[in-house]
Structure 1
């Protein structure tokens, strides 16, 4: 998402470089989501960063949403998935993909 001003041709005197206004304002967000393929159940949340702190908070929110249910989730080898400080709730069981899987 963002705003980029498209500058066209500008008229100036010979030998003078044109000065144009630019707007390069960007806004980013990340969606964390889990999907259960058979039933179609999904849970997602929007965060400002893609890091271990936001991922930890997502797991806590997912755990609260699941209640007594247990979820087995497949993780890739992303650095925020494998950080040692990550505390996975009891009702979420992570399974890590091999490093070079398709």
Structure 2
């Protein structure tokens, strides 16, 4: 047997893929069968982007160095005035500049 092939890992990856697919398609099927979306469900769906953003930003903030924290702060400030792409570029440029010039 190949040393790089691990059947348990393949099973975990396949199970994760199936679980991801079922949850994604399940939500689509559920909403498609509804004639109208209840207000509580609509509120929950409207909260999803903020929840996803939080799950992406929080680990970077707590695990990253000072350059990440400064870049996130710049992105937050830029996001109040600019659209998405300029906001991302501002944060990226700050992180790159600090890493390059700060050592």
Q: Tell me which interval the TM-score lies in, with the shorter structure as reference length.
A: under 0.3
Larger helix proportion of the pair: 2
Q: Highest CA radius of gyration, 1 or 2?
A: 1
Greater length-normalized contact order (CA 8 Å, ≥ 6 residues apart): 1
Structure (1/2) with the larger strand percentage: 1
Q: TM-score of the superposition, structure 1-length normalised?
A: 0.24
